Structure 1
C-alpha cells in the first residue's frame, strides 16, 4: 500500500527536531545502558584516555544526512557511559574500504565499524573481522527480531560477522506537483505496470519525460536488479557460483528500461544523479531511488513530494535493498576492555534503531519497525511497507566485482550502444570468470 496524503504535498513529519526526537526516544526507554568497562593498558588508540575511559574507534561511511544522526547517537552514548569514549570517523565509502586493511594492520584502524552487507563476506574472508556469534548470544539477539534475509546474510563460512542495523531499500519518489499538473491524482501512486505506463504516457502527452532512466550504478543498477527480480529472475544461482541475469527474465527487465528511453518516458544520456535532480527541478515525475533520498528531498522547502513502495512492473513484488551492519575488526593491540566496550556500544545503538531511522533508514529490527516512534516517520514507514519483498545480493566474497559487470551491461544498453540481450550475455561471461577467480582467491 502506498503512502498517500490529502494534498499534493508530502505527508508531514511530527513537529520535532531531530535532536529532540533522539532525546525523546532515549527517554522512552528504547535504549538500555549496559554497564561500561574501565580501560587499561596500551591500545591501538593509545593508552586509556584521561579519566580512565576506554577509547573506542568507530568508522563509518555516513557522509550524507545520516551522518549527523549517528553522531548524535555517539554523543548520547558517550554521555551515558562514563567509562567509554567513542570517537567516530566518517569518510567516503570508497576511501573507507581502501584504507581499512592497512589501518588495521598498523593498529590505527577502528575497533568497531559499519559495513555494507555485500562487503561483509569479502572483509571476513580477508581476515579483517572478528566473528560476533558471542555478541549476538550475549545480547540475546535472534532471527525472530530481524528481517530473515538480512540476519542470515551476516553469516560467512559458518560464523556470524555482522549485526544488522538497518536496511536501505529502493523506493518510488514522486514529485506530486508535476503529477497534479498532468491531471493525475497525486495521492494515488501507480503501483502496477499498466497504471505506471499509463501515467508515463499521460505525462509524455504533456511534454514531460516522467521517469529518467539512469545508465549508472546509482540508481540504474539498483533499478535493474529490482526489475530482474520482479520479472521472476535472479542475479546469480542459489550459491552465487554463476550468473543468472542473462536469462529471459533479465533480458525482459533491461529491455523495459531501454524501451522507456525509446518511448520518450526518459530523457536520453542521463548523467549521474541527473534522475533525482530532474525530480527536484520538476522535469520528471517519478524516480526510483534509495531511502537515503528522504533527507535530501526534505531539505528543499519548495518541493512537494511523496514516497511509496516500488511499482510492480513484472509479476513479483521485489525491490533492491542494502544493509548496514556492525562489525568487530581484527586489529593488533585491541584490548579485552575495548572488545567489551564495542559490545556495549553495538548493543546500545541497536536498541536505538527507531532513532537511527531519522537519518533515512528502515530498522532491521522488527521491534523497532513496529514502534510508535518509527510509525511517526511517515516517509520511512511508507518505504518499510515493502520490507517482506526486499532482495539482497548473495553473501559471497568478492561478489561486488561480478555485479560490476552487470552495471557495464546496464550502461551499454540504456545508452543504446548494445542490445540488452547481447550486453547481458557479454557481462555474464566476464562475471563468471570473476566468480571463478574469486573462489580461488578466497578459498578457505
Structure 2
C-alpha cells in the first residue's frame, strides 16, 4: 500500500538535494534586509474561491495597519499540490517566511524538522497565549512541548436549518431549533420536517466523499465521550460499539425519506438551498452559499444525541516552515503577522469560520453577527482527527474511511463489517513509518 502522505520517503529525505527544486524555490527565501521601509514577508496559503477573496481582504488590512512589513502571498492548489510543494521547500530549508496549514496536518511534519517552533515568549508579548484561545484549539498547536502552529479559526461540521420550514414542522422554540437529546428525538424532528417539505427532511451529500462521511461519523462517535487513539506502531484504540452505533444512526437518516439514500455533495447543497429540505449537514464554509440562496436559515451545532456536545473541525493555522538560516528580523515580523491576523479576523467570521481569537468572538460586535454567533460555542467543543502522521484534512485516511463506510450507508449492509474494514485500514497505516521522520525511515 502506498504511504498515505503527499510525499514518499525518498522525496522527503532527498528534497534538500534537488537542484531543480532549490532553483525553483530560491525566490521564496528571505530577502536581504532593506536599508529602510517595510520588510516583505513571503506567505503561502491554499485558500481559493470565497475564502481566497476573504483572505486577500485580511491581508490588505494588516498591510495597511502597520509599516513594519508587507505580506506577499502565494496561493497554491488545495490539498496534495500545496502540501507537497510546502514540504519540499521546508525540507530544503528554503521555505516561505510563514504559511497556512490545517492543524491536523502539523503532527505528521514535526518529526522531520519541517516546521520551526514559534517563540511563545514573543507571542505572549504580542497578546497571543493560552488565555486568548479556546482550550482545545490552543492545545492543538502544541507538539511535544513545542508551539508549532497558531490557529486563525475553527471550521466545524454543523447543522443548517430552514427556519420557515422548521417553524411549520413545530421543531423550533423561541425561533431556535429545539434540543434533541437522543437519536430518537432527532429522527422524529427530521420526520416532522419531511412531512412539511413533502420530500426529504434532511440533506446530506456523501457519495464518493470520504471526508463528508468522516466528519459526521466522528462527530457522532466523539459524542459518546471518547476519541480514537492511533499511536505509531499501534494498536489503535477504537470503541467498536460506539462506532457501530454511530454508523447505524447514519443509516437511519439515509432511509430515502429522511434523507436521500444516494446523494453527492452538490446535490445536497442544491436541495437545501432551493427549499426542498429543511436541514443540511455540512461545514460552516457553505455559509455564503446558503446566504446567496436567500432562504431563511439558522445554524446550530449538531445535536448531542449520544450525550456529549462535540463538533468535528479543523483549523487554518499559521506555521513557520523550516528555514536553514532564518533572518532574525523577518522571523520576528512573522510573529507579529501571526498575532495581527487573529486580532483582525472579524472578516473571517463573516465568511462563516469561527475566529480562534477569543476577544473577537466575545465582542459585542460578534454577538450581533448572525447566524455566526449562534454556533460560536462549537469552538469550545471541537474534535480534531485522531493525532497521527497519516490523518488530517486532505489525507488518504479520510478516503479510506469512506471506502469502508460507504457500502453500509449506500446499501444498508452490516455496519459492524464496515467498522472492521476501517480498523483493518488503520492497522495498515500504523504499520508504516512516518515518511517525514528520518528515524522512522531507518527502522
TM-score by length of 1: 0.81
Residue 99 (1) aligns with residue 85 (2): yes
Offset of residue 345 of structure 1:
0.9
Compute the displacement of 1:351 (Å): 1.9
Residue 371 of structure 1 corresponds to which residue in structure 2? Answer: 363
Name 1:113's counterpart in structure 2: 99
Instruction: Sort the Cα spacing of 1:146 and 1:239 in 2 relative to 1 into closer, same or farther, 3 A.
Output: farther
2:382 paired residue number = 390
2:273 equivalent to 1:285: no
The answer as to 2:231 corresponding to 1:243 is no
Among residues 203, 206, 211, which one is paired with 2:202 in the alignment?
A: 211
1:408 counterpart = 2:403? yes
Please state how far the C-alpha of 1:108 moved relative to its aligned partner.
6.3
Distance 1:204 1:137 in 2: 51
Counterpart position of 1:200: 190
**How far did 1:367 drift?**
2.4
Deviations 1:246-290 (A, max 9, x none): 510110001111122236211122113322221112222111211
**Partner deviation per Cα, 1:165-211 (whole Å, 9 max, x = no partner):** 21111221012343345565482414313442122222334532112
Question: Which of 290, 296, 300 is residue 293 of structure 2 equivalent to?
Answer: 300
State the distance in 2 between where 1:285 and 1:104 align. Answer: 46
Deviation at 1:218, TM superposition (A): 4.2
- What SS class does the counterpart of residue 119 from structure 1 fall into? helix
Query: Which residue in the other structure is 2:12 paired with?
Result: none
Q: Is 1:66–1:360's contact at 8 Å kept on the other side of the alignment?
A: no
Q: Check conservation: 1:122, 1:398, Cα contact below 8 A.
A: yes
Deviations 1:379-434 (A, max 9, x none): 22111123332222233322345444323223222112742110111111221221
Contact map agreement 2:190 2:201 (CA 8 A) in 1: yes
Q: Residues 150, 436 of structure 1: CA spacing in aligned structure 2 closer, same or farther, 3 A cutoff?
A: farther
Confirm or deny: 8 A CA contact 1:246 1:424 kept in the other structure. no
Q: Which of 263, 267, 270 is the aligned partner of 1:270?
A: 263
DSSP-derived class of the 1:321 partner: strand
Q: Secondary structure at the match of 1:67?
A: helix
When residues 80 and 231 of structure 1 are mapped into structure 2, their CA distance, relative to the original with a 3 A threshold, is closer
Name the CA distance, whole Å, in 1 between partners of 2:167 and 2:385.
37
| Alpha-carbon distance in 2 for matches of 1:320, 1:139 | 30
Instruction: Deviation per CA, 1:267-322: give whole Å up to 9, x if none.
Output: 12211332222111222211121111212212223x22111221122122221111
Task: Show structure 1 runs of 5+ residues with no match.
Answer: 1-41
Paired with 1:171 and 1:58, the residues of 2 have a C-alpha distance of 30
Distance verdict in 2 for CA 1:297–1:240, change over 3 Å: farther
251-260 or 372-381, which deviates more: 372-381
Q: Matches of 2:266 and 2:83 in 1, distance apart?
A: 23
Q: How many residues align?
A: 402
SS at match of 1:425: helix
Alignment RMSD: 2.8
Is 1:359 matched with 2:351?
yes
CA 1:118–1:431: 2 relative to 1, 3 Å: same
Pair 1:349 & 2:341 matched: yes
- In structure 1, C-alpha distance between the alignment counterparts of 2:404 and 2:237, rounded to whole Å: 14
Residue 126, structure 1, aligned to residue 112, structure 2:
yes
2-side partners of 1:409 and 1:58: how far apart? 37
* Counterpart contact for 2:203–2:281, Cα < 8 Å: no
> Which of 156, 162, 179 is the matching residue for 2:166?
179
* Greater shift in the superposed pair: 138-147 or 182-191: 182-191
